[in-house]
Structure 1
Amino acid sequence: MPGPIHGSTDERCVMRIFIMLAILPILAMAGTAAAGEWQPVEKVEPYQVSGATGIALYESIGARGPKVGIGRAIAYTDFKLTWTRDYQQQGGGCVLASAKPKLIITYRLPQASGPLPAETKRLWDRFIAGVEAHERVHGEIIVDMVKKIEAASIGLARQADPDCNKVRAELQNRLRALSLEQRRRSREFDRVEMSNGGNVHQLVLALVNGQ
């Protein structure tokens, strides 16, 4: 009968190193999952438009599209963002130990209210697919902002801050900057897409001109 395997000291050290190397990737994956465990909730809120031709549908969009500023838009992306934050006092200071977002993104898109003639349906399907793809990019910009806020929040600390007022003030400064960046990116994206020859401009021309 084989006897117990004792092994040398060097062999036991190698085995411990091997086990640690096997565990490290698992721990890394677990950390990644914990940091990115939240997911945005995405909703589509259609508004009804009507018409038998591309130009009639576009005119209906102009009358019924979501109000943005002083006019109406073809589509619009909005979001609601709330946070669950854990501020902890540590030795007279304060640290923001965790910050978990709840993000709801809403896409307001036009929807034909009834059956369309075959050619109009072809034009409309291409148009609405392009418009939705455009709005989804706005959604991606919003999600990117929230991830940056999360990264800028967790671990934020200040000394001599028993009421966490310094941490909250610094957090607001960071949030303001990231919010302004998100708006700038969205405006720049719209400027490019809606300019003459831009993607949205081409989608509108194809719908209206029957191309």
Structure 2
Amino acid sequence: MMLIKVLVAGILFVAPSVATAQWAPAEQIKTYTVSGSTGIELYSQIGEKGPLVGDQMRTIAHTDFKLLWSRKYEPQPDGSCKLVSARPSLTLIYTLPKAGKLPDRLKAKWQVFSDGVRRHELHHGEMIVEMVKEIETVSVGLSVPDDPKCAKIRTDLTAKLGEISRRNRERHRDYDRIEMNNGGNVHQLILNLVNER
């Protein structure tokens, strides 16, 4: 049987933000259709049609995001520069499998599998939102001395955001590792789908 790893959010860092007020991410759902008369046939179709990520590896589902920022830097009277606001525009993009016509005996099994995969991906989305909130917290109020043209602050901020992004990628990898290991939630979902009972 083909082993398909569920990979994590594509870490695509985009650019600069104005903050403080409440914000909420937008969501975009993409689907690809699989069909078959057995769980193994459905899983095999996932292996053929699932989203390609990373090193062009097929996955069951995938969470990606687009992140843009509106930031306001202000030179201060003492020659420093302060980032006074940073507002994100975040779109979470989920790619999920969708079943075509299924025999009645397979519908319930597929629903359990599909719901579980969706929950898994939504958790990736929650982690991305947490990352963006951390970026917002680190950004707003950041100040750099002797930076009247607000140039050094951008370098400092980029370094801080790089570290946040690195930790975020690790979180997603660790989560997938747990979920895909023997006995993990996604591993169980796969077994329940493909085992004929």
Tell me the TM-score range normalised by the shorter chain: 0.7 to 0.9
Number of equivalent positions: 177
Gaps of 5+ in 2: 1-18
What is the 5 A alignment of 1:59-138?
59-68=44-53, 69-91=55-77, 92-113=79-100, 115-138=101-124
Q: State the TM-score, normalizing by the size of structure 1.
A: 0.81
1:112 aligned partner, one-letter code? A
Secondary structure of 1:100's match?
strand
> Are positions 1:200 and 2:186 aligned together?
yes
Which of 30, 51, 57 pairs up with 2:36? 51
Could you list the runs of 4 or more consecutive aligned residues of structure 1 that deviate by over 2 angstroms after TM superposition? Answer: none
- Superposed CA deviations along residues 123-175 of structure 1, whole A, max 9, x for unmatched, are 00000000000011110110000000000000111121011111111100110
**Equivalents in 1 of 2:20, 2:119: separation in Å?**
27
Contact 2:28 2:91 in 1 (8 A): yes
For the residue of structure 2 that corresponds to 1:35, the secondary structure is coil
> 1:36 Cα shift?
5.2
Question: Residues of 2 paired with 1:35 and 1:140: CA distance?
Answer: 19
Q: In 1, Cα distance between the equivalents of 2:44 and 2:108?
A: 18
Structure 2 Cα separation of the partners of residues 210 and 187 of structure 1: 30
| Conserved? CA contact 1:48–1:112, under 8 Å | yes
Structure holding more helix per residue: 1
| Bigger Rg, structure 1 or 2 | 1
Shift of 1:70: 3.4
Could you tell me which amino acid in structure 2 is paired with residue 77 of structure 1?
T
TM-score by length of 2: 0.87
SS of the aligned residue for 1:155 comes to coil
Instruction: Find out whether 1:174 has 2:160 as its counterpart.
Output: yes
Q: Percent identity?
A: 51
Contact 2:20–2:87, Cα closer than 8 Å, also in 1: no
Q: Equivalents in 2 of 1:105, 1:195: separation in Å? A: 26
Structure having greater relative contact order (Cα 8 Å, sep ≥ 6): 2
Give distance in 1, aligned partners of 2:139 and 2:34: 43
Aligned to 2:147: 161
| Shift of residue 35, structure 1, vs aligned partner | 3.4
Whether the 8 Å contact between 1:123 and 1:210 is mirrored in structure 2 is no
CA distance in 2, matches of 1:210, 1:81: 42
Q: Name the residue aligned to 2:196.
A: 210
